[in-house]
Chains A and B, each alone.
Chain A
């Protein structure tokens, strides 16, 4: 069955400047209703890919279609209109520190709709109930733990029931309990709200536990893709190294450097 993909990226390349290419001809498809993981090392280009999907960065080549719109052809108003159908959870939550939890979750409703305050109140309480933090509605972000802040940010991101959710490293810096809670929420919200989700992460177990499909990115290229179970059994050298966390493999331990002996000799000369 060929459904219309929510996100379709075709041979996308990107570089902050000509000397530093980040993505090379990346192609991927994300089907409606799925939770898709984009995994790879830090700095491999996965967050850049997420930013291209969100219309934040413009690809230097290739086509990006999101929710039926060609992102690379949209002007800033078109991008803003598209973003109203998307939600994004940032790495550390990015809650507005000068607002209460309630006001954070109500922010988009107040900015984009003319809903009466009573209805906004009820909707905010429903979102907070979904993440288990209705009791913290009047707290300030500084009074929350890291895990709670991430859950509030999640409630805020889904405030207007977006069709596409983007998660940028949602598990970073969380304790195991909070991490499990966030992972479960991502899956539950996706299924109950009929969303499609993209999870950018380097946490193998948590990510594999909730995604339907995963893409592995290395040095700006997609090096492997498939269902999590297939990836666990994959014979591809990078996937094996990444999933098992091995030091030996295609990703070297050492950053490129001149010969060790030459460097030591140079130090002796200068010293």
Chain B
């Protein structure tokens, strides 16, 4: 190998060295940005007093992030539940246990699909909007104007949007799951003819409030924190140009989606394994 290196052309060595330097610089920049994002997160928490005291600021943002996401969440939930009804029935009836359809639909939604799909939809619908809004406020000097008026933009603009996302996400995931169960009911009971009594009673007896529903709520809460944090950070950190804001919006959707899927694996591993019987 040393012989090979000696024989290599100087230009090749330079190219390799430059490549490694670029790689190192890119890695250092990512780590620096991660540290900045962590400090930003702490700053949001420390500056949440104003938003929490003047709760109407958060309610206003819940309307934009949460209420305006309702249509996409409810419609998606209905269709996902209907597909679960069809697929679940097809599999279960092979083993003669189609009356367990209610359990399958409910557990799939409450434990996994509700938090995860609602989280992904929330990131695309509300997360991107939050990033674009804050980014454009920065590009049009609205954030600077606020600072000049001695009003802290993290307290007045960022914190209300962050908390609105954190509050909205579990509610949206719950509505997604409820709508999904209704979709499963429509297809399973009304369309295919699974026994209605078994559908509901098996669901009631098998879905545990703590193990299933609470864990699902915890997941959606964690996703809410992750998506809201990423969305407000990307917006606040966006270069104040058209390109900068569009890039930040894309990064919000991509990073949030990956974060949701990775966090889902970690949380599932912590919650549903380790001999807790589920």
Contacts and interface: CB of A to CB of B under 8 A. Distances in A.
Interface of A: 54, 56, 80-81, 83-84, 86-88, 90-92, 94-97, 107-108, 111-112, 153
Contacts of A96: 137, 142, 145-146
Contacts of B145: 88, 90, 94-96, 153
A88 B150 contact: no
Contacts of A92: 140-141
9 contacts: A56-B144, A80-B150, A83-B150, A91-B141, A92-B140, A94-B142, A94-B144, A96-B145, A107-B151
Contact of B148 (A86, A91, A97): A86
A71 to B, nearest CB: 14
B147 to A, nearest CB: 8
Contacts of A81: 150
A111 B150 CA distance: 9
Given A88-B145, A111-B156, A94 B140 contact: yes
Nearest to A153: B145
Interface in B142-176: 142, 144-152, 156
A97 B142 contact: yes
Give the one of A91, A107, A153 with max B CB within 10 A: A107
Contacts of A88: 145, 148
Contacts of B146: 96
Contacts of A87: 148
B144 A90 contact: yes
Contacts of B136: 97
Contacts, number: 48
B interface: dominant SS: helix
A87 B149 CA distance: 7
A92 B147 CA distance: 16
A194 B205 CA distance: 76
Contacts of B137: 96-97
Contacts of B142: 94-97
B178 to A, nearest CB: 31
A86 B152 CA distance: 15
Contacts of A111: 149, 151, 156
A91 B144 CA distance: 12
A83 B156 CA distance: 17
Contacts of B151: 107-108, 111-112
Contact of B140 (A86, A97, A107): A97
B167 to A, nearest CB: 20
B140 A108 contact: no
Give the one of A56, A80, A86, A94 with max B CB within 10 A: A94
| Shortest beta-carbon contacts, A-B, top 4 | A94-B141, A94-B145, A83-B150, A80-B150
A88 B142 CA distance: 12
A86 B149 CA distance: 8
B140 A83 contact: no
Contacts of A94: 140-142, 144-145
A107 B148 CA distance: 12
A172 to B, nearest CB: 13
B149 A108 contact: yes
A54 B142 CA distance: 16
